């Protein structure tokens, strides 16, 4: 058994195309990849919302003035 | 070079490796910028010089004996092997092949490609020990990791005839283990003896963050490392070779690019996988570190390193997911080790290179299970046990142990760590004062010259 479909390289490379593991599982792999990508956006939106909510309560007037002057 | 095709292939191959070497120089530029950016202002010049001098020291030693080790050491005496003096002969410093020679246009560029890997291995160790190691001690480690231990592991596991490839089915196409795991393991061995920087841990053992002095220098540094890493990937391939020249089991007449084991892959495949593993690493690191810029950048690198063992064969989505998994493990392991063992890995090198390389090897054993490790008959297929043993050999046997033992010897001799007073005042203190004195003197001289004229 070989995950790439070849157990040896005793082949004519002219007859070989895909050599990645788990051929035939491209669609499920794409689904997993897309879920990973969308989950990343979801986590980011939630976390940034929480962070900004905390940040808006953190500011001290003197320090903000200094930051504005610092440019 | 007999015919036109032969000549064209030779010149193309020569030029191909030459270009990869130039690209890989950027890795070292990046490491220097990263280290200097991460160090505090009072240590800048020493930090820079510590890394710069890796270049000549590893280069000359790699010429004198490192390259010979690669060709002479692929066999292992456990399996009836011995040092192959015949194969090594053409790679000794007094061989005609190791010089200007119109009959050998490849050895020089191939030697240089390996040499740039050597610099990288040494530079990885250099980053983790900044601001408290003696330069003279680090330079001994640089020679040992750059011209001895990594090249032994390359002979064993990154050579078409290496015993690890033959017996274990070891597969590590873009050096998760042979560069990164070994260098990370070596760095761990050294920092265990060296100890943390003053102030790194509070009295109750809580680790303190020592923020980088110049975050922008760090950022450019790591982007240069990414760029050079691209050249590294290309350098790990043989660009074009015929089945006849390989001389293995491949039939027909179709030429191909191969990995270092002379098994088929393509530059296109590794470009897909480089970018997808970089992306998977960046995305996972951003999430797991809660948007910390430097862990995110390092996570991109750790992602590539995790996927590198199998990036000649993976599907791009596999490369992305493997990179992401690796980064989550590496990030958590780094902080667990830091808290548990009070270790100060100044740039996260043990994690980003060592743990990522180890994890990447183990994962590839499962994902590539049963795939041929070589185009030659009688070699073990890629398998989880072989990859795990390979990871242990790289990280612990050839990395951690030598680093720990040599650092212990240096520590016993009192030549490992700088004195506490110097660590506090800064390594550049003496040079800084010489600079200030020189500045004051030349300003006074200029003023006196101006006064004399008026």
- Would A16 be classed as within a structural domain? no
Contact B317 A22 (CB under 8 A): no
Note whether B409 contacts A: Cβ–Cβ < 8 A: no
Residues of B in contact with A14 (CB under 8 A): 252-254
Contact B367 A44 (CB under 8 A): no
- Would A52 be classed as within a structural domain? yes
Residues of B in contact with A38 (CB under 8 A): none
- C-alpha distances in angstroms, B62 versus B16, B90, B143? 21, 14, 8
Residue B48 has a pLDDT of 95
- Would A57 be classed as within a structural domain? yes
Cα B192 from Cα B331, distance rounded (Å) = 19
- Would A49 be classed as within a structural domain? yes
Residue B290 has a pLDDT of 95
Query: What is the tens place of the pLDDT at every residue in B397-449?
Result: 999 999 999 999 999 999 999 999 999 999 988 777 788 888 899 999 999 99
- For residue B68, the number of C-alpha atoms closer than 13 Å in the C-beta half-sphere is 16
Residue B295 has a pLDDT of 95
Q: What is the DSSP letter of B66?
A: I
- For residue B211, the number of C-alpha atoms closer than 13 Å in the C-beta half-sphere is 6
Three-state DSSP state, B256? strand
Residues of B in contact with A30 (CB under 8 A): 317
What's the ipTM? 0.93
Residue B79 has a pLDDT of 75
Contact B317 A30 (CB under 8 A): yes
Residue B283 to chain A, least CA–CA distance (Å): 7
Note whether B248 contacts A: Cβ–Cβ < 8 A: yes
Which of B331, B344, B244 shows the shortest CA–CA distance to B286? B331
- Would A32 be classed as within a structural domain? yes
Chain-centroid distance of CA B44 in Å reads 22
Chain-centroid distance of CA B345 in Å reads 16
Whether A3 and B370 have beta carbons less than 8 Å apart is answered as: yes
pLDDT(A38) > 90: yes
- Would A65 be classed as within a structural domain? yes
Cα B387 from Cα B390, distance rounded (Å) = 5
Residue B453 has a pLDDT of 87
CB pairs < 8 Å spanning A and B: 95
Residue B347 has a pLDDT of 94
Residue A60 has a pLDDT of 83
Residues of A in contact with B264 (CB under 8 A): 9, 13, 16, 19
Q: Which residues contact B11 (CB under 8 A, 6 or more apart)?
A: B105
Cα B254 from Cα B385, distance rounded (Å) = 33
Residue B2 has a pLDDT of 63
Residue B454 has a pLDDT of 78
Query: What is the tens place of the pLDDT at every residue in B95-109?
Result: 999 999 999 999 999
Note whether A71 contacts B: Cβ–Cβ < 8 A: no
Q: Which residues of chain B have pLDDT under 70?
A: 1-2
Cα B201 from Cα B301, distance rounded (Å) = 27
Residue A67 to chain B, least CA–CA distance (Å): 19
Residues of A in contact with B371 (CB under 8 A): 2-4, 6-7, 21
Full domain range(s) for residue A28 = 24-70
Of B291, B314, B369, the CB nearest to A20: B314
Query: What is the tens place of the pLDDT at every residue in B212-229?
Result: 999 999 999 999 999 999
Residue A51 to chain B, least CA–CA distance (Å): 10
Note whether B318 contacts A: Cβ–Cβ < 8 A: yes
What total number of domains does chain A contain? 1
Start-to-end CA distance of chain A, whole Å, equals 63
The pair of three-digit structure tokens given for residue B179, joined into one six-digit string: 């560069």
Contact A29 B318 (CB under 8 A): yes
Give the relative orientation of helices B44-52 and B54-61 as an angle to the nearest 10 degrees.
20
- Would A64 be classed as within a structural domain? yes
């Amino acid at each position: 058994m070989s995950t790439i479909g070849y157990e040896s390289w005793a082949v004519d490379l002219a007859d070989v195309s895909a050599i990645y593991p788990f051929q035939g599982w491209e669609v499920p792999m794409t689904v997993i990849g897309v879920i990973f990508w969308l989950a990343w956006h979801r986590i980011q939106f939630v976390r940034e919302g929480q962070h900004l909510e905390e940040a808006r309560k953190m500011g001290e007037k003197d320090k903000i003035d200094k930051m504005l002057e610092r440019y | 070079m007999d015919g036109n095709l032969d000549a064209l292939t030779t010149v193309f191959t020569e030029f191909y490796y030459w270009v990869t070497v130039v690209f890989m120089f950027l890795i070292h530029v990046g490491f220097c910028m990263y280290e200097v950016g991460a160090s505090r202002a009072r240590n800048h010049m020493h930090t820079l010089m510590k890394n710069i001098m890796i270049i000549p020291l590893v280069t000359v030693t790699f010429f004198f004996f490192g390259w010979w080790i690669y060709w002479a050491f692929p066999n292992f005496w456990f399996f009836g092997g011995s040092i192959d003096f015949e194969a090594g002969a053409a790679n000794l410093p007094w061989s005609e092949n190791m010089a200007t020679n119109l009959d050998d246009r490849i050895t020089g560029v191939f030697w240089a490609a390996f040499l740039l890997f050597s610099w990288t291995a040494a530079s990885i160790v250099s980053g983790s020990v900044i601001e408290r190691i003696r330069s003279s001690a680090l330079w001994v480690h640089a020679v040992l990791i750059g011209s001895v231990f990594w090249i032994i592991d390359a002979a064993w596991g990154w050579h078409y005839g290496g015993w690890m490839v033959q017996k274990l089915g070891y597969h590590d196409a873009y050096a998760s283990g042979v560069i990164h795991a070994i260098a990370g393991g070596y760095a761990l061995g050294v920092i265990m003896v060296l100890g943390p920087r003053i102030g790194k841990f509070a009295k109750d053992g809580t680790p303190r963050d020592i923020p980088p002095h110049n975050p922008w220098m760090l950022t450019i540094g790591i982007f240069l490392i990414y760029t050079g890493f691209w050249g590294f990937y290309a350098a790990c391939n043989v660009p074009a070779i015929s089945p006849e020249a390989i001389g293995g089991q491949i039939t027909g007449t179709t030429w191909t690019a191969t990995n270092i084991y002379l098994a088929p892959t393509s530059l296109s495949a590794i470009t897909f996988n480089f970018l997808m593993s970089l992306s998977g690493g960046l995305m996972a690191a951003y999430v797991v570190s809660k948007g910390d810029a430097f862990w995110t950048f390092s996570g991109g690198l750790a992602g590539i390193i995790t996927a590198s063992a199998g990036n000649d064969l993976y599907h791009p989505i596999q490369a992305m997911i493997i990179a992401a998994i690796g980064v989550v493990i590496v990030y958590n392991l780094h902080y667990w080790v830091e808290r548990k063992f009070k270790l100060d890995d100044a740039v996260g090198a043990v994690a980003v290179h060592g743990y990522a390389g180890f994890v990447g090897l183990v994962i590839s054993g499962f994902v590539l299970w049963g795939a041929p490790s070589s185009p030659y008959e009688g070699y073990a297929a890629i398998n989880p046990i072989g990859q795990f043993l390979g990871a242990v050999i790289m990280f612990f046997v050839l990395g951690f142990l030598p680093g720990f033992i040599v650092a212990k010897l240096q520590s016993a001799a009192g030549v490992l760590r700088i004195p506490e007073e110097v660590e506090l005042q800064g390594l550049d203190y003496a040079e800084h004062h010489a600079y200030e004195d020189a500045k004051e003197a030349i300003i006074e001289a200029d003023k006196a010259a101006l006064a004399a004229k008026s």
